[in-house]
Amino acid sequence: MDNLSTKLATRKRPRNPPIEATGSWPEKTSYSSQGLFNTKRDKGLQLMKITQLETIWFEPLPADDWQRSRGTGRQALPNNLWVRIYTDEGLVGLGETYYLPRSVSAVIHDAYATLLIGRDVLDIDNHWNNMFSLVNFCGHAGAEMRAISAIDMALWDLAGQHLGVPIYQLLGGRNRERIAVYNTCVGYGHHDDMQAWLDGRAGHLAEELLAQGITAMKIWPFDQFGPTLSGPTAIREPMTIWGGLAAAGILGHHISHDDLRSGLAIVEQIREAVGDRMSIAIEGHARWNLTTATRIARELEPFDIMWLEEIMPPDNVEAYLRLKQSTRIPICQSERLLSRFAFRETIERGAADIIMPDLSWCGGFTETRRICQAADTYYLPVTLHDTIGPVALQAAVHMMLHAPNAMIQEVVRAYIHGWYQDVVTHPLEIRDGCISVANRPGLGTALQPEFLQRPDARHEMTDASRLRRW
């Protein structure tokens, strides 16, 4: 029995106030092992019931207004969704996901609320199975899975607050006290990281990161040469969406010699500036077919690349097996696989060397732990995707402190030093190239009251009186 199952078998819980209501953290509560192993039936204690669900998202600024006010970098908030789960104990759990927040919000209020309101918070596995089984009846991936992820995150947050322990403790405790990070070189605010490596300053950027203690970075130097979403008459014209250049694009079937050399030159600048002191990951954003991906991989081999990530769409495992047989570079399969079922064949057939789920997309703590355990069974390391938001990053770090096969954690320093500071009460910090979480109950953070009161915030609530029963 894992720590969560064991500890939640009791209902001997502290009356911790909601984190966002107090502005300070309750003292950690100690429990005797005897008390933890008694069941709620033995003690006759009441359940902690879910009373209402809240979703929060933000209207985007018009593109011209955004560019005038913020300059470079995409708009982050319009694609984020936060979930808060309220209980009859007064505790409030927090979750987060990313992409099409109005669609995710609709799934939560129209489908999942009926399965949650009035039920016991701590039956987390049952909640997960109920939600997944309902939507999988019509196909689960997409907004449905992102909604499950945010809700599951909030339920684990509540469990930790309820028992007075961090989530990593509920997962089974720590295997490390901090985890090394790599910087995904996106720009925002004072850190114009993406423009730096695109404009010939990749070596300077690597030196700057090393000065901050960050010894690994991720770039996507070949995206700029692939076909875009701009239509058949402008196939190479960049597409702006959500306030920034779209990483998405249709599949490329050829890269010219000159374009390949231009992409490699960015990597070469890093090696010339800092040698092998900087590990380099190459992101592919699923933009290339097998023939081109193989060509790119072989040309990258002299640069000792940390991994080549999702250089092709993840749907064809056989194609990845062929790619792996053709290159010495480790292959990373990542966040577009939205459940353990999606990762299963990749792991079992040896189609990747590194497994990278996104906790806020693939099913929250409950499912991500299963994926990490499946990878560990095949002696594969895991790293968690995160360019999502401050709450999702907090959740990812809890998992990475726990997972025995954790390798490294993705961060975007531009976001951590930028808009993350405006969202949560306790944003994380990068120290000496590593990240960790404080010893606070649950996730260890909450949404700032000022953030929730912004005029562009959109709130939707469902309680027992508003359930949509059809």
Tell me 421's DSSP state.
Answer: G
Tokens of residue 402, six digits: 């726990």
**Domain with 38 in it:** 3-164+449-466
Query: Which residues contact residue 339 at a Cβ distance below 8 angstroms, ignoring those fewer than 6 apart?
Result: 140, 141, 145, 362, 363, 367
Q: Say if residue 329 is in the same domain as residue 359.
A: yes
Q: What is the mean pLDDT of residues 209-215?
A: 98
Burial of 108 from C-beta contacts in 10 A (0-12 / 13-18 / 19+):
buried
Contact 222, 285 (CB under 8 A): no
Does residue 209 form part of some domain? Answer: yes
Q: Say if residue 95 is in the same domain as residue 202.
A: no
Does residue 443 form part of some domain? Answer: no
| pLDDT range class, residue 70, cuts 50, 70, 90 | low
Closest CA to 390 of 345, 339, 446: 446
Q: Say if residue 255 is in the same domain as residue 313.
A: yes
Q: Is the pLDDT reported for residue 435 higher than 80?
A: yes
SS3 166: strand
Count of domains forming the chain: 2
Q: Say if residue 310 is in the same domain as residue 401.
A: yes
**Cα(321)–Cα(349) distance, integer angstroms:** 8
Does residue 444 form part of some domain? Answer: no
pTM flag (> 0.85): yes
Q: What CATH number is attached to the domain comprising 272?
A: 3.20.20.120
Q: What digits encode the pLDDT tens for the residues 354-391? A: 999 999 999 999 999 999 999 999 999 999 999 999 99
The 10 Å Cβ neighbour count of residue 133 is 11
Q: Say if residue 232 is in the same domain as residue 140.
A: no
Q: What digits encode the pLDDT tens for the residues 275-313? A: 999 999 999 999 999 999 999 999 999 999 999 999 999
Does residue 442 form part of some domain? Answer: no
Query: Which residues contact residue 223 at a Cβ distance below 8 angstroms, ignoring those fewer than 6 apart?
Result: 247, 249, 283, 284, 285, 287
Q: Say if residue 255 is in the same domain as residue 383.
A: yes
Does residue 379 form part of some domain? Answer: yes
Tell me 213's DSSP state.
Answer: T
Q: Say if residue 200 is in the same domain as residue 302.
A: yes
Q: Say if residue 402 is in the same domain as residue 455.
A: no
Q: Is the pLDDT reported for residue 27 higher than 60?
A: no
| pLDDT range class, residue 400, cuts 50, 70, 90 | very high
Q: Say if residue 121 is in the same domain as residue 211.
A: no
Q: Is the pLDDT reported for residue 67 higher than 70?
A: no
Q: What CATH number is attached to the domain comprising 157?
A: 3.30.390.10
Q: What pLDDT score was predicted for residue 46?
A: 59
Q: Say if residue 146 is in the same domain as residue 195.
A: no
Contact 47, 197 (CB under 8 A): no
Q: Is the pLDDT reported for residue 337 higher than 90?
A: yes
Does residue 63 form part of some domain? Answer: yes
Q: What pLDDT score was predicted for residue 468?
A: 74
Q: Where are the alpha helices (DSSP H) in 327-389?
A: 340-348, 364-377
Q: Say if residue 74 is in the same domain as residue 192.
A: no
Q: Is the pLDDT reported for residue 147 higher than 60?
A: yes
Q: Say if residue 120 is in the same domain as residue 236.
A: no
Does residue 418 form part of some domain? Answer: yes
Determine the number of helices (DSSP H) and then strands (DSSP E) in the chain.
20, 16
Tokens of residue 30, six digits: 């100690």
Each as own residue / partner, the long-range contacts of residues 61-70 (CB below 8 Å, 24 or more positions apart, any chain) are 61/243, 61/456, 63/240, 63/243, 66/243, 67/243, 70/189, 70/243
Does residue 203 form part of some domain? Answer: yes
- Cα dihedral value 333, 335, 339, 343, nearest 10: 0
